Structure 1
Amino acid sequence: MDENAKCEILSSEYLIRCPWLTARRDCIKLPDGVVNDEYYVLEYPDWVNVIAVTDRGEMVMVRQYRHGLQRTDFELCAGVVEDGEAPIDAARRELLEETGYAGGVWTEAMVLSPNPSTSTNLCHCFVAEGVSHVADQHLDRTESITVHLFSRDEVYGMLCRNEIIQALMAAPLWRWFMKEKHGL
């Protein structure tokens, strides 16, 4: 089979279209000719997250409730890329809105697929070093987020103890720590 072969979409039906969730059922023909008449795809906008380190070397984390798992955890600042917005601009906006931190030197650390099997979006992961607190939070009415500052060692310990369980946040953090500790 050709490694670049794609499925042929024979039909597609939207099951739900909401601002935060669009789901469709596709009938697809696989490259080998097999037909799968019930393949579900979730359409999301791209996402961003930010490893933010203050000008004093502290890491900016947020803590919020996540209803899917019905638990409250520490996370990176994160959000949605709005239509027409560049990922870097979305990351800067989200950091300012959720934490009140801004500035610093920004680099894109990596781009991840939340789930290439069923999701259409990407997650752009950024590192912002040397940020400072410049404003109060500006949260959406459905957000309840607290801001916390931790040392690098504290965040590394949280990772090692599996206290940061969001995969799209743990992956760039692990990579960042490996680069920092081992120059990888």
Structure 2
Amino acid sequence: MKWRVIDTEYLSRRPWLTVRRDTVELPNGTVHPEYYVIEYPKWINVIAITPEGKYVMVKQYRHGLGVVATELCAGVVEENEDPLDGARRELLEETGFGGGEWELSMVISANPGSQNNLTYCYTARNVVPVDSQHLDNTEDITVCLLSEDEVREMLVTDDIRQSLMAAPLWKHFAMMKSGI
């Protein structure tokens, strides 16, 4: 069932956009001369919850859709960095929150048909402010503390459109409801 790669050509190798064109042969012998794959590093996101039950979210402009979005803390795992370490680092850098008890809730793919990376989704309970934000010069992020009801409402009304964030949040609330 696995395809055989006959040839690979890189069309772009930039820090945030690496694209290759593969020529592949399917198991039935059909050759597909132009199959495009976008290569990304591993990604993380964090459902961060304070001891008071507030969800630590971030608000930032998203140029692709041209909107200001409220989202989970998320980011890129650095080369040779463990995803959990990357998640802890991103939460601290973007929000100033840290500590707490951490667990991996799911590992998902944005699009396994054309992207080669995975997103590691963590839940961090009992996080507290430990530092100030340490943003990159390309980041303009506002921290928001939202109630469980506010986050649920954002999911129901499609105010959280980033699928890699909506999926772990839906799972989180489903598991809470079922007591898992």
TM-score scaled by length of structure 2: 0.98
Out of 125, 132, 137, the position equivalent to 1:129 is 125
Q: Deviations over 1:43-66 (max 9, x none)?
A: 000000000001211000001111
Opposite residue 42 of structure 1, the aligned amino acid is I
* Distance in 1 of aligned mates of 2:28 and 2:43: 33
Opposite residue 107 of structure 2, the aligned amino acid is V
Q: Which runs of 4+ in 1 moved over 3 A?
A: none
* Cross-structure match for 1:139: 135
Over aligned residues, Cα RMSD in angstroms?
0.7
* Distance in 1 of aligned mates of 2:33 and 2:68: 38
- Name the % identity: 57
Opposite residue 23 of structure 2, the aligned amino acid is C
* Cross-structure match for 2:115: 119
Opposite residue 149 of structure 2, the aligned amino acid is D
* Cross-structure match for 1:100: 96
Q: In the TM superposition, what is the alpha-carbon distance from 1:182 to its structure 2 partner? A: 2.0
Q: In the TM superposition, what is the alpha-carbon distance from 1:85 to its structure 2 partner? A: 0.3
Report how many residues are paired. 180
Name stretches of at least 5 consecutive residues in structure 2 with no aligned partner: none
* Distance in 2 of aligned mates of 1:89 and 1:79: 12
* Cross-structure match for 2:165: 169
* Cross-structure match for 1:150: 146
TM-score scaled by length of structure 1: 0.96
* Distance in 2 of aligned mates of 1:135 and 1:88: 19
* Distance in 2 of aligned mates of 1:86 and 1:153: 32
Q: In the TM superposition, what is the alpha-carbon distance from 1:114 to its structure 2 partner? A: 1.0
* Distance in 2 of aligned mates of 1:119 and 1:31: 21
* Cross-structure match for 1:20: 16
Out of 55, 59, 62, the position equivalent to 1:63 is 59
* Distance in 1 of aligned mates of 2:179 and 2:34: 45
* Distance in 2 of aligned mates of 1:179 and 1:7: 36
Q: In the TM superposition, what is the alpha-carbon distance from 1:183 to its structure 2 partner? A: 2.3
Name stretches of at least 5 consecutive residues in structure 1 with no aligned partner: none
* Distance in 1 of aligned mates of 2:113 and 2:27: 16
